[in-house]
Amino acid sequence: MRERGVSSEDIASALAEQDDLATARQQWQRKFGQRPTTPQDKARQIRFLAARGFPMDIIRQVLLDSSDDFPLDEA
């Protein structure tokens, strides 16, 4: 954004308004939409969100909301 002339204050304001958890949930829902059925499915979902730049705490919240069956430590 800086290369396009956007001020640092405007960048900070735009990023502060961004809701990473909601964005991660939307992307997860669009791609998977259902609970993982195996540890391999859970690992694939974790990789999908991580590849899109979401931190592990956000990924954990998305997957814990969608599945209680597999602990994240197994993935």
Domain chopping of the chain, boundaries: 20-74
Tens of pLDDT, residue by residue over 27-74, are 999 999 888 889 999 999 999 999 999 999 999 999 987 654 445 554
pTM of the complete model: 0.68
Q: Where are the alpha helices (DSSP H) in the chain?
A: 8-16, 20-31, 39-51, 56-66
Instruction: Determine the pLDDT at residue 8.
Output: 84
How many Cα atoms within 13 Å fall on the side-chain side of residue 41? 14
